[in-house]
Amino acid sequence: MWKGRFTQDMNEAVGRFTQSLDLDWRTVQEDIRGSAAHVRMLASVGLLSKDDADEIELALAQIARDAASGTIEPDVRLEDVHMNVESLLTERIGDVGAKLHAGRSRNDQSGTTVRLALRREILTIWDMMRKLLDTLLRKALEHADAIVPGYTHLQQAQPVSMGHFWMAHFEAFLRDARRLLLAYEGADECPLGCGALAGSTLPLDRGFAARDLGFSKICQNSMDAVASRDHIIGFHYFAAMFGVHASRISEDLIIYFTSEFGWVKLPDAFCTGSSMMPQKKNPDVLEILRGKTGQLIGGLVDALTIMKGTPLSFNRDFQEDKRSLWRSCDALKGMLEVMPPLLSEVEVDAAAARRGFADGFIFATDVAEHLVKRGVPFRKSHEITGNAVRWCLENKRALTSLTKDEWRKLAPDAGDELPSLLAPEISAARRDTLGGASPRQARIQAERGRKKLDGLSLEFDEYGKSYPELFA
């Protein structure tokens, strides 16, 4: 395509090194759809006759169908998806096909193709994320009355509703969903018509092409349009944060599933055994989820590093941005395929959770706050409770085993009702402040979360309606 300027053919090694078919052939449908929009626009401004435009579009539609059926074998010598499609077009309809690229560069063409493909990927990922969020809401209601230990520093801290635990992860993934929406909005700008970097001397109608492709916005600066990869980096940021949150919930469940904790039960269908040890039930799916996070974080670092130090406007470095982009998309879809069905079958062993309360020290904060209610300054109540815990440790007693008489000696202001308050269900139920760990609050959070999820779904649904229909 640039043979007019060069006196030598491209070195074969260079051709293999610079090709991007392994990265962009997966976007052949989006590339063809972008070309169809460009053809329609050229016809609308008089740069193509209607007959030529119709012939080109019919041929493009057939190429799309052939690509979908696998009857086309792309030629690596043509470097990328764009040149393969254009070459097939001219082979099939001759010189008319050579009119397709008027007013267009591979820079704005590639940018349009990737944004179309990324929008489609995001909509698919959202559908899967919605199932994950819905699963967490259902688990929160299912386990609202199950009381389990809550931890800080991985040390028992205070009793919490298991529903509260699920809602904690729901809130994190809901923030991720918001980031995914922002990633869609970042990709929802059309660069077609920006050319190589400076626009075109031809009378292009960029608004026509953008509307035809369902973009809600048009890139406003041609240099920025071909140089920016913010939309890709924004998606990677979502993916990295999602990976972190997927890793954290996996880590929680892996720990609580261990024999040492033992109050979470994982479904057999999402665990594996050992080739040597017959007794083993290993949480392999959760471990792989945790491991996938490295790829997602790596994708963000990869994209940022590619962009760092590149001058305006386009640079061939940008070709490599798709390698980690598609890998992250595929990793995310794989993770989201297994997470909802796995989480939906997680059970709580209430008896095992109760065994974790045996020494009663998890109720120490209840004691301190009870004293505050009775007029003791908090720092003093903290000291009194700490002394009571130390006394129990020295005498090998559970905090919940102390009699009223013993409490009168250790905490004179405690009153006779204190022992009756030191029980898991009572302790959790009393944590009823907004956002607290009580069963009632877990249900309130789930109700509020459902409304947030429904609102976010409406926003994504609107974007889904504007996505253009592909040929195949």
Task: Give which of 447, 441, 385, 425 is closest to 148, Cα–Cα.
Answer: 425
H or E stretch including 334? helix 321-344
Phi-psi region of 354 (alpha: psi -120 to 50; beta: other; left: phi over 0): alpha
Q: Helix 81-93 crosses helix 50-69 at what angle (to 10 degrees)?
A: 120
* Closest among 315, 107, 117, 135 to 235, alpha carbons compared: 117
| C-alpha closest to that of 211 among 29, 45, 37, 56 | 37
Q: Tokens for 33, please give them.
A: 């759809």
- Given the residues 49, 216, 274, 466, the one annotated as active site: 274
381 tagged catalytic: no
Tokens of 28: 């052949």
Q: What angle do CA 284, 285, 291 make, to 5 degrees?
A: 85
Active site residue 153: yes
Q: How far apart are CA 413 and CA 461, in angstroms?
A: 59
As given in the structure block, the two tokens for residue 279 are 């007794």
Of residues 69, 153, 259, 275, which has the active-site annotation?
Answer: 153
Could you tell me if 41 and 212 are in contact, meaning their C-beta atoms sit under 8 angstroms apart?
yes
463: helix, coil or strand?
helix
Give catalytic residues, as residue numbers: 153, 274
